[in-house]
């Protein structure tokens, strides 16, 4: 049974359960309505003038937002944000990231579900989402590639910023000093762990452009001096060795089974005897349990490659890992934290 985690940032998804509700919020942000009302209530007539929109059109938008619990009208006719939505705006970076990737992924779902079911290779070749997550561009430095890579790194960073807390609360990082985070993206996960554990030094291994974006992301963070970025291809380039901890955070589902197994095998070789492998991943989505919210569409496009804990447990044991332990928890989807020990020599 997965542990349901009552984290406040999950409140964002309440407002993204339907297509109409989510798109109304996206339009309200684009027009400046959300930021205007965040400063205080305002009569609808004043909003028409300030936002330079047509009154009849604004009425449609205000109705959609009110129906979604974003807005309320006071007795004098003024419009204001509800307390619940105002509280959710504390996680504005996450809201913006989710709305951005819904724009990219929803057309893939509407126009490409048949290909996703029938021919994954064809689906990926035509998918806007997988074009956005273009690892080939992330391997070659350059201004355009940096701009494109930055967009999806902002999305994954926003997710990691809030997901990391659940792993920090359930895994003891105090026993490590040398840590490698493979596919560590912007270094957000490493930064949060290092902020809590001052004895820890981390290496983030990722593609060159991702490392460039990540170094910029962490530049002002106090823990940045204990985090280094190593650029390379984790399939073929050398890894650091004699490590206390190797982790994969939301990374292995990006790869077919053969590559995922290769990464776990390389992790074993990089760990000191008795060192720890940590996998923090989304689990296979429970698609048959009921209708999915609109906000789940980006993750649904990865549904074919999410695995269950039994798959990981079996492969880890084949590689000689011991003391395999699995924790399940529910965030926006079901996650798992898998811990395993590298075999001792002799």
* pLDDT tens-digit readout, 159-173: 999 999 999 999 999
User: Mean of the per-residue pLDDT values for the chain?
Assistant: 94
Q: Is 294 within 8 Å of 23 (Cβ atoms)?
A: no
Rounded-to-integer distance, Cα 141 and Cα 294, Å: 35
**Mean of pLDDT values over 98-114:** 95
Q: What is the pTM of this model?
A: 0.92
243-249 and 271-282 beta bridge pairing: parallel
Check pLDDT > 60 for residue 5.
Answer: no
**Mean of pLDDT values over 116-142:** 90
Q: Is 263 within 8 Å of 252 (Cβ atoms)?
A: yes
Nearest by Cα to 292 from 99, 159, 109: 109
Check residues 4 and 194 and name the one with the higher pLDDT.
194
Q: Is 177 within 8 Å of 243 (Cβ atoms)?
A: no
Sign of CA dihedral 108, 113, 15, 98: negative
pLDDT score for 85: 98
Domains by residue range for the chain, with CATH: 3-93 (1.10.10.10), 152-341 (3.40.50.150)
Check pLDDT > 70 for residue 297.
Answer: yes
For residue 329, the surrounding DSSP H or E stretch is strand 322-330
pLDDT score for 137: 92
pLDDT score for 4: 57
In which band, very low, low, confident or very high, does the pLDDT at 7 lie, cut at 50, 70 and 90? confident
pLDDT score for 176: 97
Using one digit for the tens of pLDDT, what is the confidence trace for 68-99? 999 999 988 899 999 999 999 999 999 999 99
Using one digit for the tens of pLDDT, what is the confidence trace for 241-255? 999 999 999 999 999
Determine the 3-state secondary structure of 218 from DSSP.
Answer: helix
In which band, very low, low, confident or very high, does the pLDDT at 276 lie, cut at 50, 70 and 90? very high
In which band, very low, low, confident or very high, does the pLDDT at 123 lie, cut at 50, 70 and 90? very high
Six-digit token pair at 146? 């940096």
């Amino acid at each position: 049974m997965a542990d349901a985690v009552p984290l406040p940032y999950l409140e964002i998804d309440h407002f993204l359960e339907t297509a109409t509700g989510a798109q109304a919020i996206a339009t309200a942000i684009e027009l400046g309505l959300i930021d205007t009302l965040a400063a205080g209530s305002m009569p609808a007539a004043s909003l028409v003038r300030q936002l330079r929109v047509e009154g009849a059109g604004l009425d449609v938008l205000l109705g959609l937002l009110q129906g979604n619990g974003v807005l309320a009208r006071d007795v004098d006719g003024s419009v204001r944000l509800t307390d619940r939505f105002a509280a959710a705006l504390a996680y504005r970076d996450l809201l913006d990231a989710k709305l951005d990737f819904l724009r990219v992924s929803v057309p893939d779902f509407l126009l490409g579900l048949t290909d996703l079911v029938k021919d994954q290779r064809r689906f990926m070749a035509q998918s806007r989402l997988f074009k956005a997550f273009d690892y080939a561009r992330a391997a070659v430095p350059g201004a355009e590639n940096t701009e494109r890579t930055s967009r999806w790194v902002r999305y994954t960073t926003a997710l990691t910023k809030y997901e990391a807390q659940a792993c920090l609360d359930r895994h003891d990082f105090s026993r490590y000093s040398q840590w490698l985070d493979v596919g560590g993206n912007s270094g957000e996960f490493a930064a949060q762990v290092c902020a809590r554990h001052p004895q820890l030094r981390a290496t983030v291994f990722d593609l060159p452009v991702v490392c460039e974006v990540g170094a910029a992301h962490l530049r002002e963070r106090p823990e940045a001096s204990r985090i280094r970025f190593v650029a390379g291809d984790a399939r073929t380039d050398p890894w650091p060795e004699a490590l206390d901890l190797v982790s994969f955070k939301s990374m292995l589902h990006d790869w077919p089974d053969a590559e995922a197994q290769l990464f776990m095998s390389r992790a074993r070789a990089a760990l000191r005897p008795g060192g720890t492998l940590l996998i923090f991943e989304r689990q296979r989505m429970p698609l048959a349990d009921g209708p999915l919210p609109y906000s789940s569409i980006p993750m649904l496009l990865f549904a074919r490659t999410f695995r269950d804990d039994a798959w990981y447990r079996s492969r880890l044991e084949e590689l000689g890992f011991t003391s395999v332990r699995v924790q399940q928890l529910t965030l926006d989807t079901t996650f798992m934290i898998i811990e395993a020990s590298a075999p001792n020599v002799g």
